[in-house]
Structure 1
Amino acid sequence: MTNLWRLSYTKLLSQLSQTKSLNPGLQIQAHLTKIGLLNDSKHRNHLINLYSKCGAFDYAWKLLDESPEPDLVSWSSLISGYAKNGFGKDAIWAFFKMHSLDLKCNEFTFPSVLKACSIEKELFLGKQIHGIVVVTGFESDVFVANTLVVMYAKCGELLDSRLLFEEIPERNVVSWNALFSCYTQNDFFSEAMRMFGDMIVSGVRPDEYSLSNILNACTGLGDIVQGKKIHGCLVKLGYDSDPFSSNALVDMYAKGGNLKDAITFFDEIVVPDIVSWNAIIAGCVLHECHHQAIDMLNQMRSSGIWPNMFTLSSALKACAALELPGLGQGLHSLLIKKDIILDPFVSVGLIDMYCKCDLTKDARLIYDLMPGKDLIALNAMISGYSQNEADNACLDLFVQTFTQGIGFDQTTLLAVLNSAAGLQASNVCKQVHALSVKSGFQCDTFVINSLVDSYGKCSQLDDAATIFDECPTPDLPSFTSLITAYALLGRGEEAMKLYLKLQGMGLKPDSFVCSSLLNACANLSAYEQGKQIHAHVLKFGFMSDVFAGNSLVNMYAKCGSIEDANCAFSEVPRKGIVSWSAMIGGLAQHGYAKKALHLFGEMLKDGVSPNHITLVSVLYACNHAGLVEEANKYFETMKDSFGIEPTQEHYACMIDVLGRAGKLDDAIDLVNKMPFEANASVWGALLGAARIHKNVEVGQRAAEMLFNLQPEKSGTHVLLANIYASVGLWGDVAKVRRLMKDSRVKKEPGMSWIEIKDSIYTFIVGDRSHSRSDEIYAKLEELGQLMAKAGYVPMVDTDLHDVERKQKEILLSYHSEKLAVAFGLIATPPGAPIRVKKNLRICLDCHTAFKFICKIVSREIIIRDINRFHHFKDGSCSCGDYW
């Protein structure tokens, strides 16, 4: 774990050095001091490098002075910082100080001190250092050699500079740039031009620095023709005000990435023709300046020039991007008037525009009217269906055109696989998979990634993993698809392992990977691993990403730290409904009903409208705090106030609210008034209420409905048996157990998980598989004795086994959550909170026991069961025993 943290700190400090972020560096130094890692040479050197690059030399010197044995890396970082910030004298002084300590320069130190000599024009010292370079054998290092070339030139010794350049065995573009810079800065422009020609002949490709220097040379010589040639071939030889040349310049600048210059050249054209307008409108669309493209189109028409099909094709793309169907339909009418509607190029543009405006029926009409449908048109239509979630229509069109022999390509397969995933049609995925293999697309990276994604969304994780494993060079989208699938389907451990593999391959995660991993940590309640992913989110600069921010809120809330969730929520830059819902839901799950409702009010004030998930969280908050009137108010007004019809989930929440509050008759009335047949969640809520209030009649009715809806679920049998046991009907308890046996329904085993040092440990009742079982059971024995002295009495009535009281006490003692908590007590530092996740509802005896244990050990115990969080502290639970 320590090595992992060290690696994380060094990577983070390296990233901060690149961005010159001083304040975070100071915070990290304070943290490293606190945890005793500041004396680590790697951390210290990274901090010195950061401070030096930021120009904070006082901090750098302080670290250097406090270092027991500052090494070459420390001094090199300081000297480099001085040189890069233009403090040549200070860099030279630091070099002498380092030299007095008998530390030898390396290939990283020499360039910095030579740069300092260049700044201060210290030719004599530069020559001395040159001598050291030769003696130490670094003259062949291209980086050092390049710096020597620059140093001599800037000190006025051009001949020596040129001789050194000639001696470089393998000149790279930096070597040539160093020489060009020397000549242009010393007004030797002709020599710079000649050497540029030599560089081209030698096969070295010029870069932006080469061209910049040579353009300066052209300027110095007044050779405008050569300047235009060198200027990225942007201006052709002999350019003047000729319309053809002007149009070419507009088009080239637009397509070359400089729309501003393209517009400048366009504005200089006295009378723009149709080609001029087409070039600038297409350029605006290319640069996603879609409003500007529409403005240009209007100016063009005002100038008396009518658009042709190329103009309208670009304009249609702008309409599609802006989702302006009205304007798009107007352009469609214009195309009909111009009698160019049947042109395939234009038809595809119309299909794309209508699809992106969510008018797939209009797009299909254009497609059907096309006289000669080709693959481009098919892909536009199929992709449009897929993007608009018209998945059945997408698959139907593909089957139809496949039988007609139109064919398919990569784009077709991607759209079809996306729609198959949307329908969760695993059989279609398999068929498309077979087709892609048969057609030679099995090695296509995009198709492979789409297959992984589609199989994952169809819950076919084994197939997704097989495709991934067979991929010779999986890329980031491959990892993202499988990690996301693992996270969504609750296989968080596999997701985390895959992330480690991704890092091992040197791939940098994106915000989607981090979001998926955070969701995996949330499902596992893996707080420490979640914090590490949070660190990666910070390191890679994803905090401004809304998806990552929302996932952080969700992760911390589901890992039991509502404080961290609130901090993450406050840092989400643009809070949307997902952000608000995640935080409201988190507060509700932790029992902070009033805070959840207050935040809901703040959300409404912020102008964000709730969705059905938000209102489920609001009702849930009311439920676990016994706020019946508030819940009823929200439930009754959700349609009128927010336009949301209550779903099964909302009814289940409301029935649970009434049931927990003892209003069973009202709960039953609400079930009877539902506009649709109640599902299992509704009857489950009623059964839970019957258990709380020991109402056998209501419990039997709810259980009968659940036996019909979910005969394979053991939870119904267990709850019904608990109701019978609570009123002493042990004969009925036995009947339920026989019914389970006869129906071959197996009771879902209680399982609990706890995270210790990046590992997740699983426990079941009576588990002795752990390597530290003896210690765990000894701890439980010790706690049992202490609890007994404090007044704890095992609640044997909660155990349904037909055994003696003593045996029931033993069985209760070894519930999975108690084993997990005991392990946490012996495996974590004193005072640290214990976080445990359970797959079932925590039993009444464990709930009571943890109130005793948390007080005895003076620790907070956080249990996340299937319903909510329980924070046990100082002898009480956050739920107030209302759960």
Structure 2
Amino acid sequence: MRLREGVFVDSFSLSLALQACGRSVDDRSGKRVHTLAVKLGFGLDLFVQTALIEMYAKLGTVEAARNILDEMVQPDIVSYNVLLAEYVRVGEIDLARRLFDEMPARDVVSWNTMIHGHATCGNVGAARKLFDMSCERDLVSWSSMIAGYARSRQSNEALMLFHDMQLANVRPDGVTMVSILSACGDMGALGMGNIVYEYIERNKIEVDVKLGTSLVDMYAKCGDIDRSLEIFNKMGVKDVLSWSAMIMGLANHGFGELALDHFSKMVSEGIIPNEITFVGALSACSHVGLVDRGWKYFTSMTDIYGITPKIEHYGCMIDLLGRTGHLKEARELIRNMPFPPDAIVWRTLLSACRIHKNVELAEEATVNLLELEPHVDGNYVLLSNIYTQNKKWDDVASVRRRMRDESIHKIPGSSSIEIDNVVYEFIAGDRSHPRSREIYEMLAEMAGRLKLVGYKPLVSLVLQDMNEQAKEHGLACHSEKLALAFGLLSTAPRSQICIVKNLRVCEDCHLAFKLLAVIYERKIIVRDRTRFHHFSGGSSLEEGLMFYLSKIEHTLRLPPHLLDRGLDQAIKGELETLFLDKVIAKLGLCVSVYDITNITGGFISPGDGASTFTAEFRLIMFRPFVGEILSGEVEESDANGLRLSLGFFKDIMLPVHLLPNPSKFADGRWTWDYGGVELPIEKEEEIRFRVHSINYPPIPVEQDKDAKPFAPMVITASIDYDGLGPTSWWV
């Protein structure tokens, strides 16, 4: 650095030079400018000293910065605020608070700096105390406090403070709205999110990339993935965070293929993916079961983009391998991780072991998991369920004893639901709500309707030592069922219900929600800690049978003696005789007469005295969707393929061309040659398959005496995919 001859230097130019040295972290030049300032007689100048405070703090020597402040004859509030801001910037909150308390005077900048500092460090309580103490608040004060609540996931407090901000006539800006949208997304508060979006449009707040991305993220987290896509497509400029939010949202909603399409489009537009983008892409592969594609993305992180995979990326790959039955590969990947596996990794493996009934690997995962989380009840529940699946009752009892001896208590599940822009929270067995009596009456109604369609509670999920009736009651009072009951009471018929749960949705609630979506003709969306579950018309986008309600009108004759049972019961009995366990072309298999919505007629026929009625009613039908993955048993094998059974439905055909290649038939069974290892398909073995097609053959005019019974509905199955086939192949 050199000073030209004839150049006039004042305190202003020296201050600018010192600030430049600090911001460019140029220690050598900074000290030379400091020396020059002293030589020229500006060593005690207020502006120069303030600039020196900022420079030394940015150079990492906050002690030197404090020394300069202490040497100042009459430091003003700007000097104090500069050092205060630098303390906060480098995370020295205790030093900042000490300085704040020493200040002879404070302005709104001083208060805002401390509020922001405490909030950023996670001490939201201290930030709120300062916020309440401050006499003057501006937009920054409110935004900092709201952002602190949003970051610490105290979302309800963030929304309440936003309401107070509006009452105080402080107009929010885009930065405030980003925090509010984050809080709405965290709570799943779709109604409030809609209000915020309307506020943004009404007040013409500029929707830049950051705010647009926040809207995309909020709608995805609140369950409205269609609106999220709509806003994303309207954005004129998108950065990697925008694309990542959309990809993550689609993946979490189960739209894996669409998420990967967006990943490809992003790359084609020249946007380089980051760590978050790859979490979304790998999650999408996991939900769809694309093992090869998942490996491709995982290896491309290092090979193409120079991104070192973190534990989240390994976790996604382990989930993908585990879901598709590649348990050995998943275990090997854990061994080869460059860092110790955390509890999430071991729990992911344990969950895969439960799906594929691998007891040995489950026990290994549990040992490691309990070292990291010895008091988390869900880990014991998973292991117990695996023992139960494999009928290892002594081991089940051992797990229960260990839970009792070590005082392992269940983490209370909580579920929230938004009604009229107010979020209500429920815990299991909760009776604190003002409408508690109505909610439990609705629960009883739900249980009764579920029983009518053949639902049986999965009492094996309850590890507590209690009788079957108590276990059923405990399952019936899970927090998500209470939230659903309140939703059914509080929302219009056929409207969508969204529920947010703090833990994973249990298998029993998952099964019940499939049927309740049919029974009450609702679309139900449940967001748990891992993903979204969509139930519509009784169908979940995940594995499971598809049931739905079909409305039918039929005219029938009732003999007089049947009317002794009452008209409704008599007609229902006749309808069950006509339709139950029968196939209706294009509709599927009738599994239950759900209800009768209208009865007309009653005309008496001459001769036998029978009455003719026209009934409008609803049937619960079974018809899986193409692509759905089901579990059944091998019923029989022959040279043409296999016949599979679900117990109540046995016309599932697995033809030769949909077996994995190469397969051969010998000695009455099929065997898959997997790289030189022969994997057999045994009779009565559990098998996972994908629905390839559903057909309704025409009824034959006549049939040979030796022909197999006519099947009015035939499901064609396929197991030529990763993770499908006998479960014994993948354990």
TM-score, normalised via structure 1 length = 0.58
- Say which one has the larger Rg: 1
Match of 2:496 among 828, 833, 856: 833
**Map of 2:429 onto structure 1:** 766
**What secondary structure sits across from 1:681 in the alignment?**
helix
Contact 1:841-1:865 within 8 A present in 2 as well: yes
Shift in Å, 1:865:
0.4
Do the aligned partners of residues 434 and 396 (structure 1) sit closer, same or farther apart at CA in structure 2, a change above 3 Å counting?
Answer: closer
- List per-residue Cα deviations over 1:464-511 (Å, max 9, x = no partner): 111111112322111101111111111111111111111111111111
Distance 2:210 2:427 in 1: 35
Do the aligned partners of residues 727 and 536 (structure 1) sit closer, same or farther apart at CA in structure 2, a change above 3 Å counting?
Answer: same
Distance 1:852 1:731 in 2: 34
**Map of 2:96 onto structure 1:** 432
Shift in Å, 1:838:
0.3
**Map of 2:481 onto structure 1:** 818
Shift in Å, 1:648:
1.1
The answer on 1:681 being equivalent to 2:344 is: yes
Distance 2:380 2:81 in 1: 46
Do the aligned partners of residues 862 and 439 (structure 1) sit closer, same or farther apart at CA in structure 2, a change above 3 Å counting?
Answer: same
**What secondary structure sits across from 1:872 in the alignment?**
strand
Contact 1:537-1:548 within 8 A present in 2 as well: no
**What secondary structure sits across from 2:417 in the alignment?**
strand
Match of 1:485 among 140, 148, 151: 148
Match of 1:690 among 353, 370, 376: 353
**What secondary structure sits across from 2:288 in the alignment?**
coil
The answer on 1:599 being equivalent to 2:262 is: yes
The answer on 1:650 being equivalent to 2:313 is: yes
Shift in Å, 1:352:
3.0
Match of 1:638 among 278, 301, 305: 301
**What secondary structure sits across from 2:423 in the alignment?**
strand
Distance 1:559 1:834 in 2: 11
Shift in Å, 1:570:
1.9
Deviates more, 1:717-726 or 1:394-403: 394-403
**Map of 2:205 onto structure 1:** 542
Distance 1:519 1:866 in 2: 16
Q: Which amino acid aligns with 2:507?
A: L
**Map of 1:353 onto structure 2:** 20
Shift in Å, 1:590:
0.2
Q: Which amino acid aligns with 1:870?
A: H
Match of 1:747 among 385, 410, 415: 410
Contact 2:283-2:316 within 8 A present in 1 as well: yes
Distance 1:750 1:852 in 2: 22
The answer on 1:522 being equivalent to 2:185 is: yes
Distance 1:338 1:724 in 2: 87
Contact 1:713-1:745 within 8 A present in 2 as well: yes
**What secondary structure sits across from 2:416 in the alignment?**
strand
Shift in Å, 1:403:
6.4
Distance 2:399 2:89 in 1: 41
Distance 1:844 1:782 in 2: 20
- List per-residue Cα deviations over 1:296-315 (Å, max 9, x = no partner): xxxxxxxxxxxxxxxxxxxx
Considering fraction of residues, name the structure with more strand. Answer: 2
Distance 1:626 1:845 in 2: 24
Shift in Å, 1:777:
1.6
Distance 1:759 1:413 in 2: 43
Shift in Å, 1:430:
3.7
- List per-residue Cα deviations over 1:310-347 (Å, max 9, x = no partner): xxxxxxxxxxxxxxxxxxxxxx5xx4454869875444
Do the aligned partners of residues 369 and 584 (structure 1) sit closer, same or farther apart at CA in structure 2, a change above 3 Å counting?
Answer: farther
Contact 2:254-2:532 within 8 A present in 1 as well: yes
Match of 2:368 among 698, 701, 705: 705
The answer on 1:628 being equivalent to 2:291 is: yes
Distance 2:83 2:371 in 1: 38
Distance 1:800 1:368 in 2: 71
After TM superposition, the structure 1 = structure 2 runs for residues 336-735 of structure 1, keeping only pairs within 5 Å, are: 336-338=3-5, 345-356=12-23, 358-361=24-27, 364-366=30-32, 369-370=35-36, 372=38, 373=43, 376-377=47-48, 379-380=50-51, 383=54, 393=60, 395-399=62-66, 401=68, 410-411=77-78, 413-414=80-81, 416-418=83-85, 421=88, 425=91, 428-441=92-105, 443-735=106-398
Distance 2:5 2:382 in 1: 74
The one of the two structures with greater contact order (alpha-carbon pairs below 8 A, sep at least 6) is 2
**Map of 1:792 onto structure 2:** 455
**Map of 2:520 onto structure 1:** 857
TM-score, normalised via structure 2 length = 0.69
After TM superposition, the structure 1 = structure 2 runs for residues 84-99 of structure 1, keeping only pairs within 5 Å, are: none
Distance 1:385 1:684 in 2: 48
Do the aligned partners of residues 608 and 341 (structure 1) sit closer, same or farther apart at CA in structure 2, a change above 3 Å counting?
Answer: farther
Contact 1:413-1:432 within 8 A present in 2 as well: no
Aligned residues: 541
**What secondary structure sits across from 1:760 in the alignment?**
strand
After TM superposition, the structure 1 = structure 2 runs for residues 121-520 of structure 1, keeping only pairs within 5 Å, are: 332=1, 335-338=2-5, 345-356=12-23, 358-361=24-27, 364-366=30-32, 369-370=35-36, 372=38, 373=43, 376-377=47-48, 379-380=50-51, 383=54, 393=60, 395-399=62-66, 401=68, 410-411=77-78, 413-414=80-81, 416-418=83-85, 421=88, 425=91, 428-441=92-105, 443-520=106-183
Shift in Å, 1:414:
4.6
After TM superposition, the structure 1 = structure 2 runs for residues 40-59 of structure 1, keeping only pairs within 5 Å, are: none
Do the aligned partners of residues 723 and 402 (structure 1) sit closer, same or farther apart at CA in structure 2, a change above 3 Å counting?
Answer: farther
Shift in Å, 1:605:
1.6
- List per-residue Cα deviations over 1:272-297 (Å, max 9, x = no partner): xxxxxxxxxxxxxxxxxxxxxxxxxx
Considering fraction of residues, name the structure with more helix. Answer: 1
Shift in Å, 1:512:
1.0
Distance 1:551 1:737 in 2: 45
Contact 1:341-1:347 within 8 A present in 2 as well: no
Contact 2:286-2:294 within 8 A present in 1 as well: yes
**What secondary structure sits across from 2:492 in the alignment?**
coil
**What secondary structure sits across from 1:624 in the alignment?**
helix
- List per-residue Cα deviations over 1:233-266 (Å, max 9, x = no partner): xxxxxxxxxxxxxxxxxxxxxxxxxxxxxxxxxx
**What secondary structure sits across from 1:528 in the alignment?**
helix
Distance 1:566 1:347 in 2: 52
Shift in Å, 1:737:
4.6
Q: Which runs of 5+ in 2 are unaligned?
A: 545-628, 631-731
Shift in Å, 1:564:
0.8
Do the aligned partners of residues 507 and 744 (structure 1) sit closer, same or farther apart at CA in structure 2, a change above 3 Å counting?
Answer: same
Distance 1:465 1:634 in 2: 44
Distance 2:417 2:182 in 1: 17
Identity of aligned residues (%): 38
Do the aligned partners of residues 449 and 590 (structure 1) sit closer, same or farther apart at CA in structure 2, a change above 3 Å counting?
Answer: same
Distance 1:410 1:609 in 2: 45
